[in-house]
Amino acid sequence: MDIIKEFYSGFSIMNQEVSLVLVLVFVLLADLFCGEKGKKYLQLLAIAAFALNVVYGFTLKVDSTYQDSFAGMYVTSDMHILVKNILNVGTLLVFFFAHYWNEHENRSQSGEFYFLMLSTLLGMYLMISSGNFLLFYIGLETASIPMAAMVAFNKKAHESAEAAAKYILTAAFSSGVMLFGISLIYGTYGTLYYNEAANAFLAEPLQIMAMIFFMAGMGFKISLVPFHLWTADTYQGAPTPVTAYLSVMSKGAAVFSFLYILITVFRNYAETWQNILWWIIVVTITVGNLFAIRQKNLKRFLAFSSISQAGYILLGVIAGTPQGMAATVFYIFIYLFTNLAAFGIISNIENQTGKVGMDDYNGLYSTNPKLAVIMMLAMFSLGGIPFFAGFFSKFFIFLAATQKEMYLLVFIALLNTIISLFYYLLVVKAMFIKESTNPIKPIKSDAMSVIGLAICTIGMIVLGFISPIYEYMSSISFGI
């Protein structure tokens, strides 16, 4: 009897997951039972329901700094909740941007769209707050399998199918590799619980090898070089809302859980994984930038830029300190608004004109000043230029890295910002400076994306100046 009570009491700290599941089920049922004419309300319902969930998420707080249930299978803390809330916000924004697309190109399966996306979100929740490799694995797959379905969403298109195939194959492959690593971890540590594993530490090569296999699996999700090659193709092929979701949400969730596992399970190998990450970061940032320069398709362009951004994010991870964690989460938070703003513009224009080439954007300012300005803000923010939020997040993440005396690494990263600034400015140049013979016609964006863009813009501009956010993060962050 006690066992049962304890079992159920385990759910008591899983509020977010539970509420999300509720929304999930609601959407599913609504999708089932609303007829053809109900479809048009379905989206609004789904978004509203999820919005409620988002709001609810912000009310949550754990009374102690760290709680777990199911014997440490599930872990949570203020930081976990915060990260989930951030993901919630991102997802909501993606919904806003996806609305138009669902309305016109994807009428029939809009329900499935929301359902799948929410389930991936659920997977990410589990991945983030897992205290055990089993739950972690389940969360990971829950996050990635529906994602594959979503990448394949518009069935007519070649590249969508190709992208999906590449994604699912690489995902399966990488999860195989990661599982191999996990199995070795199990073999060497003798446990799958993070906190126990942390103590069962014997400096033997097999453990290091296991760690590296595991890191490879994570590297696939965060798309670090050399595990990044799928990224560009999938981003380009997938429907733009899905790409946005991939580029921010799954990346953010993966980064956080990666950081969490590194500083708990592999705490004693800090030396090793810091050296490894040092090189991975350098390669990632550089390759991402170099490949981004030559891109003409904006979605592909942003894919590579997001690769290099992932490198920057890891600068916070490599420190492994509380400050590092705060900087990382802050960076993800800012990056979410910035990148989603860019994708919002792109999807907006793609939906209405079908143009994604950089040359199509020539002279955008003359026809669509608002969109152009927001895009410019996003580019500047990605490039890390004040006053936009990107500057602050970059500054803090570099600060976190230098805390560990990694001046050389930071210097290389900074030199890379020059390259990145170069290609971000290329977009600005296209929109503002270049003239075009047939510029994009003036666009009347739909209400939802207007809301989304407004939120993103406000976020990009003001977030840097509102210090309490970062203060809060650093107050609840933890590290080695």
Partner 1 sequence: MMAIIFCINGEKKNLIRMVMAAGALAMLGTSVYLTLDFLAQREAGATAEFLYCNDPIPWYETLNINYSVGVDGISVAMLLLSTIVVTTGVFASWGLEKLTKEYFLWFLMLSLGVFGFFISIDLFTMFLFYEVALIPMYLLIGLWGTGRKEYSAMKLTLMLMGGSAFLMVGIFGIYYYSSMDGNLTFNILEIAKNHAMPIDKQMIFFPLTFVGFGVLGAMFPFHTWSPDGHASAPTAVSMLHAGVLMKLGGYGCFRIAMYLMPEAADQLAWIFIILTGTSVVYGAFSACVQNDLKYINAYSSVSHCGLVLFALLMMNKTAMTGAILQMVSHGLMTALFFALIGMIYGRTHTRDIREMGGLMKIMPVLGVCYVIAGMASLGLPGLSGFVAEMTVFVGAFEHSDLFHRFFVIAGCTSIVITAVYILRVVGKVLFGPVQDKHHEQLTDACWYEKVAAFGLIIAIAGIGLAPLWLSNMISDGIMNMLK
Partner 2 sequence: MNIPVEYFLVLSTLLFFIGVFGFIVRKNLIGILMSIELVLNAVNINFVVFNRFLYPDKLEGFIYGLFVIIVAAAETAVAIAIIINVYRNMKNIDVNSIKELKN
Partner 3 sequence: MDYTILLLAIPFLMFLIIGLLGYKMTPKFSGLLGSAGLAVVTALAYYTAYRYFFTEFGQAADGARETIVMFNYTWLDLSNASRPDLMIQIGMLLDPISVMMLVVITTVSMMVHIYSMGYMHGEEGFQRYYAVLSLFTFAMLGLVVATNIFQMYIFWELVGVSSFLLISFYFTKPSAVRAAKKAFIVTRFADMFFLIGILILSYYTKTFDFLKLTAVDPEAQHATLVFSTMGGKMFMGLSVTSIALLLIFLGGAGKSAMFPFHIWLPDAMEGPTPASALIHAATMVVAGVFLVARLFPVYFFEAPDVLHIIAYIGGFTSLFAAIIACTQTDIKRVLAFSTISQIAYMMVALGVSGFGGHDGLGFTASMWHLFTHAMFKATLFMAAGCIIHAVHSNEMDAMGGLRHYMKKTYYTFGIACFAIAGIFPLSGFFSKDEILVAAFEADKILYFCQTFVAGLTAFYMFRLFFRIFFYNEPKFEHTPHEAPANMWVPLCILSVFTIFSGWFPFSKWISTDLIGYDIHTVWPIAIGSTVVALIGIGTAYVLYYKKNDIPDRIANTCKSFYTWASHRFYIDEVYLFITNKIIFGGICAAIAWFDRHIIDGFMDLLGWTTNTVSEETKEIQSGSVQQYAWVFIMGVITIVTLALYL
355-298-88-478 Cα dihedral, nearest 10 degrees:
180
Secondary structure letter of residue 297 according to DSSP: B
> In this structure, which amino acid lies at residue 456?
C
For partner 3, the closer of residues 219 and 439 by Cβ is 219
For partner 2, the closer of residues 177 and 427 by Cβ is 177
Asked if omega into 387 is within 30° of 0 (cis), the reply is yes
Residue 226 interacts with partner 3 (CB under 8 A)? yes
Give, for 69, the enclosing helix (H) or strand (E).
strand 66-69
- 454 CB-near residues (< 8 Å, 6+ apart): none
192 is in the binding site of which of partner 3, partner 1, partner 2, none (Cβ under 5 to 8 A by kind)? partner 2
Stretch that binds partner 1, among 181-189, 332-340, 387-395, 441-449 (CB under 8 A): 387-395
**Closest separation between CB of residue 57 and partner 2, Å?**
27
For partner 3, the closer of residues 12 and 275 by Cβ is 275
Residue 471 interacts with partner 1 (CB under 8 A)? yes
Q: Do 464 and 391 touch, CB atoms closer than 8 A?
A: yes
Length of the chain: 480
How distant is the alpha carbon of residue 458 from its chain centre? 20
Which member of 152, 215, 281, 376 binds partner 2 (CB under 8 A)? Answer: 152
For partner 2, the closer of residues 220 and 380 by Cβ is 220
d(CA 398, CA 390): 12
Residue 205 interacts with partner 3 (CB under 8 A)? yes
Residue 470 interacts with partner 1 (CB under 8 A)? yes
Of 421, 436, 411, residue with least CA distance to 385? 421
First to last CA, the chain: 38
270 is in the binding site of which of partner 2, partner 1, partner 3, none (Cβ under 5 to 8 A by kind)? none
Stretch that binds partner 3, among 36-44, 120-128, 285-293, 360-368 (CB under 8 A): 285-293
Main-chain phi, psi angles of 74, to 5 degrees = -120, 130
For partner 3, the closer of residues 194 and 423 by Cβ is 423
Q: Do 288 and 311 touch, CB atoms closer than 8 A?
A: yes
Which member of 38, 41, 52, 190 binds partner 2 (CB under 8 A)? Answer: 190
Residues 233 to 252: which contact partner 2 by CB under 8 A?
233, 236-237
Q: Do 347 and 289 touch, CB atoms closer than 8 A?
A: no
Residue 395 interacts with partner 1 (CB under 8 A)? yes
Contacts with partner 2, residue ranges (CB under 8 A): 133-134, 137-138, 141, 145, 148-149, 152, 155-159, 161-166, 168-169, 171-173, 175-177, 179-180, 182-184, 186-187, 190-192, 232-233, 236-237, 294
